[in-house]
Amino acid sequence: MRSEQEVINAVDKYADMVKHVCFYHLKNSTDAEDVFQNVFLKYMLYEKPFNDDEHEKAWILRVAINSCKDYLDDFFRRNKVPLEVLNEIAAEVPEEHREVLEAVLSLPVKYKDVIYLHYYEGYSAVEIGKILGKKENTVYSLLSRGRKILKEKLGGDENGW
């Protein structure tokens, strides 16, 4: 088990990243808080050492994504209308970014992860493949289709994404 200080440091370091993952996966802030805390609980209980910071970050990302998916596996949660999230966006995010976030949130789940990991975290298709446990070609394909859907929603040049 990791020390309490290690976990506190990780909360400070990765809180925003985990929040992003919870945000684009989950339907409301209560769900997000549950999963958010569980991610760091898993980190606390994970005993194997990390090779470096990048390894640690990728591990937390993978755990956060999987935790969200597990949480959504509940049929009732999966079918809830994400009204609260949209309302939260309205409250937290400036007008000019709201449309982009809403477009990302409306993507099918399989595209959300690759779009976030690539465009926000800056991971390559190979790295995303490792984090998500998918083949590189599958990641390229998901990125391409996700980009196309976003373009349709937001307009603009697809290649410019």
Partner 1 sequence: MAGKIHNAFDNIKANSQLKQATKQFISEKYNDKTLLVRRRPVLQKRFAIICMALIIVAGVNGYLWVKTPVSYISIDVNPSIELALNRFDRVVSVTAYNSEGEEVIKDLPLKGKIYTSAIDTIVESKTMNIYLTENSELIFTIAAQSSHESKINTGVKNRCGHTGHNSQSVTTDTGIVQDAHNCGLSIGKYYAYLQLVQYDDTITTDDCHNMSMSEIQRLITGHGHNTDNTDTNNGCSSDNSCITEGHHHEENHE
Taking the complex as a whole, the smallest distance from the CB of residue 68 to partner 1 amounts, in Å, to: 14
Taking the complex as a whole, the smallest distance from the CB of residue 3 to partner 1 amounts, in Å, to: 9
Give the nearer residue to partner 1 in terms of CB position, either 87 or 135.
Answer: 87
Taking the complex as a whole, the smallest distance from the CB of residue 53 to partner 1 amounts, in Å, to: 18
Give the nearer residue to partner 1 in terms of CB position, either 30 or 51.
Answer: 30
Taking the complex as a whole, the smallest distance from the CB of residue 75 to partner 1 amounts, in Å, to: 27
Taking the complex as a whole, the smallest distance from the CB of residue 52 to partner 1 amounts, in Å, to: 23
Footprint on this chain of partner 1 (rule: CB under 8 A): 1, 4, 7-8, 11-12, 15-16, 18-20, 23, 33, 36-37, 40-41, 44-45, 92-94, 97-98, 100-101, 104, 115-116, 119-120, 150, 154, 156-157, 160-161
Distances (CA, A) of 20 to 26, 51, 69, 112: 10, 24, 14, 11
Give the nearer residue to partner 1 in terms of CB position, either 44 or 86.
Answer: 44
Please spell the DSSP secondary structure of the chain, one letter per residue. Answer: ---HHHHHHHHHHHHHHHHHHHHHH-SSHHHHHHHHHHHHHHHHH--SPPSSHHHHHHHHHHHHHHHHHHHHTSHHHHTS-THHHHHHHHHHS-HHHHHHHHHHHTS-HHHHHHHHHHHTS---HHHHHHHHT--HHHHHHHHHHHHHHHHHHH-S-GGG-
